[in-house]
Amino acid sequence: MLQNKNILLGVSGGIAVYKACALTSKLTQAGANVKVMMTENATKFVSPLTFQALSRNPVYTDTFDEKDVRKIAHIDVADWADIVIIAPATANIIGKLANGIADDMLSTTLLATQASVYIAPAMNVHMYAHPAVMQNMQRLEKWGYHFIEPGSGYLACGYVGKGRLEEPESIIETVKTHQDKNKILAGKKVLISAGPTREQIDPVRFFTNHSSGKMGFALAEAAADLGAEVTLVAGPTDMELVNKQIKRINITTAEEMYHAMHHNFLTSDIVIKAAAVADYRPKQVYEEKMKKQDGVWKIEMERTKDILQSLGEAKTGQFLVGFAAETENALEYGMKKLQKKRLDAVVINDVSTAGAGFGGDTNIATYLNKHMEKEEIALSSKRDMADKIMMLIDRDMKDESK
């Protein structure tokens, strides 16, 4: 998968720069065309001449050193790259990228490139765990950047812990694996629902829930990255899509979501209902704002349509996945939903568990398919979980077709 790929290797300043030399060599041996771009601090650890010899290409270090007067170097390289790898990625370069700072050639090029970017952090264990660094990495991950987690062990600073740059072989294997799976859903149409619904009481009040839409949006991005044609039916949320190829249908009420999902259902191959839809709505909707009164205000509620069950009843070959957000007996209730609603799989999570609630950036879940095969997904970012869920769906679909 790396044969003839144009790979830009961004090298920032840290003791782990020496590993980037081996990475350059191995990428070149794998048949990739490698160009190296170094920060000024990186050149204090290893000479640019070393990377030039290993890559057989000029090394970029200065934004204003234009090697070809007919081109603007950092834009030319940004457009040239199929893949960008930042290794080692220091807290500094991660912070710059997360905050749109472009004050040297590497940071400027990173803002200009449209290529897939893989970030391999390397730093002191306490720096890696600092809230600012963690927040910057979470922001970049939401934007679609891929992280290659550092290993644990003895660090140059003398500490033992997480922060050691992953080995060059592992970095290459991670990139290859991601590139290999990149289009496994090509030709598939994926329909996903996300976020809450709102059920109006009067012009200024409504019933809703705590869903942010983050899980559904992460699933949509993951499916699109795997080559699928994605339609996202989204309830009221502040979330924005990174991939502008995803078709987004905005709705407000459970009734609107019901119609949007059914309208797109028959032409879909994979349908994932991740939205938190209201089970009840006010039976009477007031046209004017209800004024404060003495005593109790009683609102009579009526059932909304069960979207997931209706999709299960209408299945004609779609792979249908539901979500079960529970606060007790999560596995038991999730299994009942799987069977009752004719699902092919259900993603079960206990939202009362730390790290798995509504609105957060992380989740913990159990993926259970109709054959009662269970996969535990440990605490991870919602984007990482989305990638794992899409891979499990692809696996189960392939098993069904055998």
Strand order in the sheet with 319-326: 247-250, 229-234, 189-194, 270-273, 319-326, 345-350, 362-369, 374-381
CA distance 73 to 126: 36
Q: Please write the tens of the pLDDT for every residue from 191-219.
A: 999 999 999 999 999 999 999 999 999 99
Q: Which CATH number fits domain 6-182: 3.40.50.1950, 3.40.50.720, 2.40.50.70, 3.30.70.790?
A: 3.40.50.1950
Q: Is the pLDDT of residue 161 over 90?
A: no
pLDDT grade for 60, boundaries at 50, 70 and 90 = very high
The pLDDT value given to residue 71: 81
Burial (Cβ within 10 Å: 0-12, 13-18, ≥19) of residue 327: exposed
Crossing angle, helix 105-112 and helix 73-80, to 10 degrees? Answer: 50
Check the annotation: does 44 bind a ligand: no
Check the annotation: does 323 bind a ligand: yes
Q: Please write the tens of the pLDDT for every residue from 316-349.
A: 999 999 999 888 998 999 999 999 999 999 999 8
Q: Please write the tens of the pLDDT for every residue from 236-284.
A: 999 999 888 899 999 999 999 999 999 999 999 999 999 999 999 999 9
The pLDDT value given to residue 154: 60
Decide the pairing of beta strands 33-38 and 6-11. parallel
Query: Catalytic site residues?
Result: 157
Q: Report the CATH number of the 184-401 domain.
A: 3.40.50.10300
CA distance 227 to 118: 18
**Domain residue limits, the chain:** 6-182, 184-401
Q: Please write the tens of the pLDDT for every residue from 67-92.
A: 777 788 889 999 999 999 999 999 99
Q: Taking a C-beta distance cutoff of 8 angstroms, is the pair 60, 33 a contact? A: no
Asked if the domains at 6-182 and 184-401 fall in one CATH topology, the answer is: yes
Q: Is the pLDDT of residue 107 over 80?
A: yes
Check the annotation: does 292 bind a ligand: no
Q: Is the pLDDT of residue 402 over 70?
A: no
β-partners of residue 6 are 33
DSSP at 203: T
DSSP at 305: P
Higher pLDDT, 131 or 180: 131
Check the annotation: does 104 bind a ligand: no
